[in-house]
Amino acid sequence: MKSKYSHALMLLAAIAAFLPVLAVDFVLDSYVRVRERAVLQQSADAVAARVQATAYEAIASLRRILADSPSLCTPSFVANVHRQLEQSIYLKQVLVENADGVQYCDALGKDVKYSALSRPLTVPNHTETLEVVQYADLRVPALKVTQSFGTARKVSAFVPVLAAEAESLVGGLKPTSMVRLTLADGAEIITVGDARAYDERGRTEFVRAESFVGELPIHVTAAVPFAMVRADYADLDASFTVVAALMCGAFLVLALQYVRKSDLPAFDLERAIAAGELKPYYQPVINLRTGALAGCEVLCRWEKKSGEVVSPGAFIEYAEVTGLALPMTLSLMQQMKVDLERLCADMPELKISINLFEGHFRDGSVVDDVQTIFANSAIQFRQLVFEVTERKPIERMQQAQSVIAGLHALGCRIAMDDAGTGHSNLAYLQTLGVDIIKIDRVFVEMIKPDTTAVPVLDGLISMARELGNDVVAEGVETEAQALYLRGRGVVQAQGYLFAPPLKAAPFKDLARALNGSGEVDPALVAQVAAA
């Protein structure tokens, strides 16, 4: 339970650790938008200020002329107009006309050529009106600022919308930028730069800034495609990613440390195997007829430096998933050889059972490993049994068969572990080449003190016998169970009634004590088990 929880925690931590890398784009996008909008805003404000300067100069010039002139088109009026033309850098022309456009006089004494590009708009808080016009041969549109004189006359001043070259508007900006002046009613005055994409595509793809020209009904928009400005931050992108990757690394280390501290026993397994902390324990298998020791099953225990002994339930699945099961089994076999070589030489009928994992069938190297480890040892191949659990279905049947054939060829035998708990039937297992059936504890548990028959168990036993398999009963805890099994012809059994899995030394003591003696002496077993 704890280990499942820790795995989930580790997974979460690992996912969380990668968030900085995922966030890089988002953060950088937002950063670029904010920065570039500020740059554009400055440009838009600057353009607005320039337009404002010319327009207000036209208004001011016109007001001065009218303040100094009691009547229109008189020599003193024309003189006033000329003075303003000289003083102003923007003012191009002053014109007196009536509401129908009939011209009365102007500064230069000729017909004034202009055409309206917009309706006249009022300027809030001003008596003047404003109109965009094409004036003479000016390359940019002009503003026509008009003041009424009496009821029948209008006096207008003409200034270019922009005093400088229009192209200078986008001078400081990216080549793909555009700047547009519009009137409050939406009519376009002038656009500079590349506005095609801006008009065609959605405006969300652009970084945009807007500005107003004082109180005038004129409005400045500046825009640049986001992709263009974003591309300029490629360098930053790289460094952001590096920083984020470093953060990920740091997070990951912290997360792993946290999980390690959370005392997940499996976590250290690799180091533990290398350090030889995984020890083989030996659970005796007893001959129920003679009481002699028939052999043992190798079961692993994690002996921590702290003295704590961890049962395989806490790490066996982890070992399987991570592939550590293979080096673990290898280490157990090597230690077992050292532990039991003498004993096996002295008792050639002793059988030693080793548990295999599903991974051993995928990998296949176990046959070579067994050969290498035991070839020159006093332990004969015919003394080795390899257990294959029935709990998990074997996925790669062919590979399993070839591994089993390899072990058989050496002279080893195969036991079906936990028989009766899986999905496969015994006849089918026979095709796998199984020699021994280990009947699972759950069936043995069904034998109570007064039980006379356990149909499932009895069925299993007779089926195994019909198939010609030896039978080992697991988890025998009571004398009643041992007697019942013996009554059904089961010869071998293992379980707490005889002994739990033991360390090498007490196991060997027990083996030698049982060797040759006809009966199991429970007092000795208890004594050895307690050691």
Report the interface residues with ligand C2E, using CB under 6 A.
283, 298-300, 311-313, 316, 329, 332, 355-357, 389, 417-418, 441, 475-477, 494-496, 501
Q: Does residue 211 interact with Ca ion by CB under 5 A?
A: no
Of the pair 154, 279, the CB lying nearest Ca ion is at: 279
Nearest to 119 by CA among 101, 134, 132, 136: 132
Cα separation values, 489 from 10, 18, 107, 249, 426, Å: 50, 61, 132, 62, 18
Nearest to 295 by CA among 467, 460, 436: 436
- The piece of 2-10, 256-264, 267-275, 387-395 that touches Ca ion (CB under 5 A) is 387-395
Choose the one of ligand C2E, Ca ion, none that binds residue 288, judging by a C-beta under 5 to 8 angstroms depending on kind.
Answer: none
Question: Could you tell me the smallest distance in angstroms from the CB atom of residue 245 to Ca ion?
Answer: 45
In this structure, what token pair is assigned to residue 128? 């003047």
- The DSSP call for residue 71 is S
Q: Which of residues 452-471 bind Ca ion (CB under 5 A)?
A: none
Strand partners, 181: 190, 220
Q: Does residue 355 interact with Ca ion by CB under 5 A?
A: yes
Question: Could you tell me the smallest distance in angstroms from the CB atom of residue 313 to ligand C2E?
Answer: 6
Choose the one of Ca ion, ligand C2E, none that binds residue 495, judging by a C-beta under 5 to 8 angstroms depending on kind.
Answer: ligand C2E
Which one of residues 106, 390, 417, 470 is an interface residue with Ca ion (CB under 5 A)?
417
Question: Could you tell me the smallest distance in angstroms from the CB atom of residue 412 to ligand C2E?
Answer: 15
Q: Does residue 418 interact with Ca ion by CB under 5 A?
A: yes
Choose the one of ligand C2E, Ca ion, none that binds residue 357, judging by a C-beta under 5 to 8 angstroms depending on kind.
Answer: ligand C2E
In this structure, what token pair is assigned to residue 441? 């504890």
d(CA 171, CA 526): 97
Question: Could you tell me the smallest distance in angstroms from the CB atom of residue 281 to ligand C2E?
Answer: 7
- The piece of 58-66, 411-419, 481-489, 505-513 that touches Ca ion (CB under 5 A) is 411-419
Strand partners, 303: 309
Strand partners, 115: 134
Residue linked to tokens 């169970």 = 481
Close Cβ partners of 28 (under 8 Å, ≥ 6 residues apart): 230, 233, 236, 237, 240
d(CA 314, CA 310): 7
Of the pair 41, 311, the CB lying nearest ligand C2E is at: 311
Choose the one of Ca ion, ligand C2E, none that binds residue 106, judging by a C-beta under 5 to 8 angstroms depending on kind.
Answer: none
The helix (H) or strand (E) run that includes residue 459 is helix 455-466
Strand partners, 353: 297, 385
Question: Could you tell me the smallest distance in angstroms from the CB atom of residue 439 to ligand C2E?
Answer: 11
Nearest to 342 by CA among 510, 512, 506, 501: 512
Of the pair 442, 524, the CB lying nearest ligand C2E is at: 442
93-98/153-160 β-pairing: antiparallel
Question: Could you tell me the smallest distance in angstroms from the CB atom of residue 521 to Ca ion?
Answer: 26
Q: Does residue 221 interact with Ca ion by CB under 5 A?
A: no
Question: Could you tell me the smallest distance in angstroms from the CB atom of residue 529 to ligand C2E?
Answer: 11
Contact residues for Ca ion, defined by CB under 5 A? 355, 387, 417-418, 474
